[in-house]
Structure 1
């Protein structure tokens, strides 16, 4: 999910700690943009975690294979 200025928008309510909101406003932080960036980061991390969980068996199997057999074509690697 990449935030873009051309994506359709929908108004929403967000509850924030009073001190954080006050400091952000004092610094001129654009709340919508900051919330969007934070939410996009959280969604990306959630997708990453879900992908890792869904693929854990394959990842573990590959790691076991490499531990037992070594890397494919390792003889041709140049260091």
Structure 2
């Protein structure tokens, strides 16, 4: 069963993955490897770099959006009178 938290978590992960994949597409892999690579090795390298960049975007966005979301949730709880 999917709840809102699970959907938002997967959506956030997909957003970070798309950002990582886009950033990985910009990189010059020939300069990284200093030789030409086959199609499959290039794809595996791009996937690996995209996953690393996605994690970096996840951490960055967590620090950027975390305090904003904490304040929003705190304000919502306080407005309900639940402590």
Given the two structures, how large is their TM-score scaled by the length of structure 1? 0.50
More helix by share: 2
Given the two structures, how large is their TM-score scaled by the length of structure 2? 0.48
